[in-house]
Structure 1
């Protein structure tokens, strides 16, 4: 009597043996001489099972070890219209796909709704330990009758709902891949990286939800999210949600001028750099051009001088005294509203902390100290906090209504993430948020600001002047 074909999960792949009748499964399978059986990518589990069932093939499914889970919510809220629409769009796409929503627009609650409606064991992957603990606290409250576990930061649970960092989930991808029916990828733009993608590729999960405010990646690999998670099924911008889920907001661009001494030094440094670029036939108009400059400049003394000149010119533009005077004026103008100050470099953060007695957070700030600063900011003990790039993503920042961007990159993602830090409506129904972007005229930074705004469509006023 012929054996019934069996489908089994094996360390991130599927094994199908003996070969079933029909041809629907062949496109997914590769013969493995080592075990003399057909092997199939785990991520093709759903398509493979559908193909076998469509042909009426008999087979025993031992691969999908994920369980049905009854998720009874410990609390429920009336969803915003965009959350209801996003959930419906995701369900209509077969419960696979990416939802693009701004920071503070309720992506975590949307995931809770998706988990409730799907009723399967769920793995949630997040980029940082801070986010892991935020999700854990939310899901413990959301589903008090269902065990919620952690994977990362010293924890190695095996619960039907598991919150893991991308790092830990990728390390254990071969053992996790058969256990979960729903994958939720928070900040899913991280997923297409060479290491993190294993979390999706080694998993049989038929249902997948990607969440992000900015899926686009500089390397173009965001296109791979379609294969790893599913197509983009829903998108809303901060402007579209302003006044409903998010606080009404505006952005104001303030242009400052360097002092005569700063401008002269800045131009002298740029002339030195540009001479090297012309000689080396290089252009900085793209990411590839910048990489070539970095590589070429390291090969000669002239190149290293050019890179040093570029760095010093940028530091002058980012840290000019004019910006700090504008910052001080804005803080006084908006007092006592809570304000976040963002810079690109740590040196300016520490300078502001020292000269203006404003608490500072950088990647060097110990975790306990960072939490203490944010707790004091939340209670109103501190009215302002200055940070470099550490608050861009993966940190629960208390409510603020004013953001001051003193410097940054050309990245649209960074801009949207920083804007999102002030859009949470919070306790004040009349809250109006404002983001000030302060940039230096006739410098490298002016072009950086222009490139950043070319890829975003925020509400903004025409550039103002603050020549002080």
Structure 2
């Protein structure tokens, strides 16, 4: 194919894709590319994506065909697509569904139309403990107890399994969603994309129920409501696992408000309360609690306390390793993962794929923003120099201490003062990693600080005051990264973070994504960075998440002279 300089992609033999960001079709191209490739670098003008087996399997599980991927690349690649890349893509896409798990009578089989592949798999020593008797050339019996472990091993070997085996119904619990007439003061109806997400989980329309997988939607898109709708669709006893007690209480409130379930049917299972009800909501922390590292996990038996028909993993990207192991043993139970990002800091995305399920649905953040379902956000990085004394200490310190010195840079206080004046009329959050730093900011601003050391009830009181508008500013530690519903927060100021965590960036951005009750659907996400330090290097990694979602990310250097133009720009944006 002839070179076409007007096209924005360069597809390389190593399965990487270079993407020119100044192309007029940038957003259209990006939205398709992210469906089957992962962003790995995002300098200003040229982003790098990588096509991986897992990114292709997730795309295939979501219904994207190989032909759609290749036609797209051929239409937008400057130099065409190398034959070796097309060959590798075809091989990996074809492997999804090459092996299937199916029920035949009372037995569970691993089946494949490719007899050569099945024979090769049967010969692998690492799989012998999972495989039983051959059933002709195209099937082999397996133990239901090994369903999850076998999928996990085969995924690692490059052969993802399409799990079409049956799920147990579980204990029957009739659940109906409240219509918009049931609560005149709080009308409720599923949005179109929420219904599509539930349909994708249950695969309505092709005559076959799926019942396992992950739904990826931004914070503020109503993942809790989608989970509740899935519960109503399944009408069975449900175990919900989530990140913290605040989230447990929010789930409980939403369930009681939006379904016909009563309060005595919905239980909380946490450090303070141990209720096992038809619908039970527990934290990951309580599930992984044990007296010492040599003890058994105290509460893992919750997975077997009732005949659960559905398990919902809220914030599935946070799933702890012990819960992965328990999940491998309960593959006959329907499993729904909810998350804003499939990125895991421990690199265990393959285990989410094999044990919870593949990505069944993903909604683009910018698409929801365009429709007004989430706030429009401007992302701004402000770079602040270290003082001479801090610079000397920084130069004499080790890598870990350098990152902390940069994070706690005292010069950030001047920027905070400026931003608080600039956004005097908006609801604001200051978010950080280090408690010492946050305590200094709290003392400096006079605003309350919420941290993990604060009692849950005291946190709730402050959240309620913020929601009511009586507190214009809250300072929050990483305890507020997850599942805190503060719909009127319009400004987030991030002063320090966990190295290059894209996962954390997603959660912090999510604090200001919910539509504002005053109708002004604009927000600003600031990150204050110490200039020419390791913090700046890690910020580049955190930005990957924002770029993946299509956000523009402006960078400016801090000067004590306040620019009138900057003030006018931000005020115009928020108005």
TM range, normalised to the smaller chain? 0.7 to 0.9
Residue in 1 that maps onto 2:417: 328
User: 1:291-306 alignment to 2 at 5 Å?
Assistant: 306=398
> What 5-or-longer segments of structure 1 have no aligned partner?
8-18, 30-38, 54-62, 274-305
- 2:241 maps to what in 1? 125
Structure 1 CA distance for aligned equivalents of residues 324 and 553 of structure 2: 40
C-alpha separation in 1, matches of 2:147 and 2:286: 19
Which of 336-345 and 213-222 deviates more?
213-222
Matched, 1:463 2:555: yes
SS of alignment partner, residue 527 of structure 2:
strand
In the alignment, the residues of structure 1 paired with residue 245 and residue 472 of structure 2 have an alpha-carbon distance, to the nearest angstrom, of 26
Q: C-alpha offsets along residues 322-372 of structure 1, whole Å, 9 cap, x if unaligned?
A: 311111111111112110001221111000111221111122223232222
Tell me: CA distance 1:160–1:265, structure 2 relative to 1, closer, same or farther (3 Å).
Answer: closer
Residues in 1 aligned to 2:509 and 2:307: alpha-carbon distance in whole angstroms: 37
Quote the residue 2:408 is aligned against. Answer: 319
Write out aligned runs for 1:72-87 (5 A).
72-76=176-180, 77-87=188-198
TM-score, normalised via structure 1 length:
0.76
**1:443 aligned residue:** 533
Answer whether contact 2:176 2:232 (CA < 8 A) is retained.
Answer: yes
Q: How does 1:53-452 map to 2 (within 5 A)?
A: 64=168, 66-76=170-180, 77-92=188-203, 94-145=210-261, 147-169=265-287, 171-174=298-301, 176-177=303-304, 179-191=307-319, 193-203=320-330, 205-243=332-370, 244-266=372-394, 268-269=395-396, 273=397, 306=398, 310-311=400-401, 313-409=402-498, 410-452=500-542
- Looking at structure 2, the residues matched to 163 and 369 of structure 1 have their Cα atoms a distance apart, in angstroms, of 21
How much has 1:399 moved relative to structure 2?
2.6
Deviation, 1:258, is 2.2
Shift of 1:263: 2.8
Q: Structure 1 residue runs of 4+, over 6 Å off?
A: 19-25
C-alpha distance after superposition, 1:101-145 (max 9, x if no partner)? 111110011111111222222211112122112111211222334
How big is each residue's C-alpha offset from its partner over 1:389-438, in whole Å with a ceiling of 9 and x where there is no partner? 11111434453000011111210011111110001003122220111111
Distance apart, 1:73 and its partner CA: 2.0
TM-score by length of 2: 0.62
Deviation of the 1:167 alpha carbon: 4.3
Q: Which runs of 5+ in 2 are unaligned?
A: 1-104, 108-131, 151-160, 181-187, 204-208, 289-297, 561-575
Contact 1:107 1:211 in 2 (8 A): yes
- Indicate conservation of the 8 Å contact 1:101/1:236, yes or no: yes
Matched residue SS, 1:27:
strand
Q: What CA distance in whole angstroms lies between the structure 2 residues aligned with 1:424 and 1:345? A: 26
Q: CA deviation at 1:319?
A: 2.6
1:450 is paired with a residue whose SS is: helix
1:28 aligned to which of 142, 145, 151: 142
RMSD of aligned alpha carbons: 3.2
